[in-house]
């Protein structure tokens, strides 16, 4: 599992850009991945909240990706 601080370092503040969105996204993804790897109920609870019922046994079949293009999303929801 990737170190959270290493991932967030690349979004350090710059005078021309704000990194808040990336910082929040990476932090949330870290929590989801941590739950996936350590089989905690955080990921299950999040999916339940979205209306997707999963069990912790399903974690072996879950992959988290933050760089998915919208064309892939059409295939996912078909």
Give the domain extent around 50.
Answer: 20-76
Q: Looking at the domain assignment, is residue 10 inside a domain?
A: no
Q: Looking at the domain assignment, is residue 9 inside a domain?
A: no
Q: Compute CA 29 distance to the chain's CA centroid, rounded to the nearest angstrom.
A: 3
Please tell me the predicted confidence (pLDDT) of residue 4.
Answer: 67
How many other CB atoms sit within 10 Å of the CB of residue 43? 23
Tell me how many domains the chain contains.
Answer: 1
Q: Looking at the domain assignment, is residue 72 inside a domain?
A: yes
Cα gap 42→44, rounded to integer Å: 5
Span 22-75, pLDDT tens digits: 778 888 888 999 999 999 999 999 999 999 999 999 999 998 877 666 665 555
Q: What is the pTM of this model?
A: 0.66
Please tell me the predicted confidence (pLDDT) of residue 22.
Answer: 74
């Amino acid at each position: 599992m990737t170190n959270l601080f290493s991932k967030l370092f690349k979004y350090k503040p710059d005078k021309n850009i704000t990194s808040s969105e990336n910082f929040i996204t990476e932090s949330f993804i870290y929590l989801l991945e941590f739950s996936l790897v350590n089989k905690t109920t955080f990921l299950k609870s999040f999916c339940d909240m979205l209306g997707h019922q999963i069990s912790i046994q399903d974690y072996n079949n879950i992959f988290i990706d933050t760089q998915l293009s919208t064309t892939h999303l059409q295939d996912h929801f078909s």
